[in-house]
Structure 1
Amino acid sequence: MNHRILFGSYPIPRFAGIASHNFVIWTDDKGRPLYEINGGAANSDGSFNYCAIRGPLTAVVTDYAKRDLVHYPEFYVRPTSRTVLLIEGSYSSIAARWRAAVDVAERIRLSNLRYSFLIQNSNSVATAITEGMGLTPPSTAVGRVRAPGSHRQLMLDPV
């Protein structure tokens, strides 16, 4: 098996699992997670705000080799998470796409955008990350009810 980039969705229990939190994941040739990118709000100390209703919009890159759930969330390993394959390829081809994803994540962190549950949130971050890699988010994981904010284009400064 090749390395893969997957688009993940975690049904949010607080909203009866109807609305989801979207994220992007890189797995190795055995299907093990290497890295994950989540969007959301940051707490004032820079940690990831799992229950955000406001705050600065952020994108967090989790390295599964250096686990720290306070600052670097992991949704891929949750039993209710679902994934869709975006691309599969050699280590070097996936690494090049992931580098583009990390660059978009950095632009989001520096953007001074504010988190908003319905407008710009984890789902709009996942969409921006996916499009930044030259890929298309799966239609099964986006939508105004299923993934509020997933259709929102983040206004990021050009590189």
Structure 2
Amino acid sequence: MNHRILFGSYPIPRFAGIASHNFVVWTDEKGRPLYEINGGAANADGSFNYCAIRGPLTAVVTDYAKRDLVYYPEFYVRPTSRTTVLLESGYASIAARWRAAVDVAERIRLSSLRYSFLIQNSNSVATAIAEGMGLTPPSAAIGRVKAPGSHRHLVLDPA
């Protein structure tokens, strides 16, 4: 098996699992997560706000080799998370796409956009990350009820 880029969805228990938190993951040839990108709001200290209702919109790149759940969330490993393969290829090809994803994440962090549950949130970040890699988010993981904000195109400064 090759390395993969996956688009993930985690059903949010607070909303009866109807609404989801979307994210993007890079896995190795054995299916182990190497990196994950999550969107959301940042706390004042820069930590990830798991229960956000407001704050600066951020995109966090988790390195699974350096785990710290306060600052770098992990959703791929949760038993209720579901994923769809966006791309399967060799290491070099996946690494090049992931570099583009990290660049988009940095632009989001520097954008001064505000988090909004229905408009700009984890789902709009995941969509922007996938599109920044030249990939299309799966239709099963997006939608105004299932993933509020997933149709929102973030306005970012050009790279």
Shorter-chain-normalised TM-score: which range? over 0.9
Aligned to 2:97: 97
Aligned to 2:108: 108
Q: Cα offset for 1:128?
A: 0.1
Match status 1:117 vs 2:126: no
The 3-state SS of whatever aligns with 2:95 is: helix
Write the deviation string for residues 6-63 of structure 1: whole angstroms up to 9, x where unpaired. 0000000000000000000000000000000000000000000000000000000000
Q: Find the aligned partners of 2:73 and 2:142 in 1 and give their Cα distance.
A: 21
Aligned to 1:67: 67
Q: Find the aligned partners of 1:48 and 1:56 in 2 and give their Cα distance.
A: 10
Structure 2 alignment gaps of length 5 or more: none
Write the deviation string for residues 72-100 of structure 1: whole angstroms up to 9, x where unpaired. 00000000000000000000000000000
The 3-state SS of whatever aligns with 1:18 is: coil
Q: Find the aligned partners of 2:121 and 2:127 in 1 and give their Cα distance.
A: 10
Structure 1 alignment gaps of length 5 or more: none
Q: Find the aligned partners of 2:129 and 2:25 in 1 and give their Cα distance.
A: 11
**Which amino acid counterpart does residue 49 of structure 1 have in structure 2?**
N
Aligned to 1:53: 53
Aligned to 2:128: 128
Q: TM-score, normalised by structure 2?
A: 1.00
The 3-state SS of whatever aligns with 1:154 is: coil
Match status 1:16 vs 2:25: no
- Counting matched residue pairs gives 159
Q: TM-score, normalised by structure 1?
A: 1.00
Match status 1:137 vs 2:137: yes
Aligned to 2:82: 82
CA RMSD between the two structures: 0.2
**Which amino acid counterpart does residue 87 of structure 1 have in structure 2?**
L
Identity among equivalent positions (%) equals 89
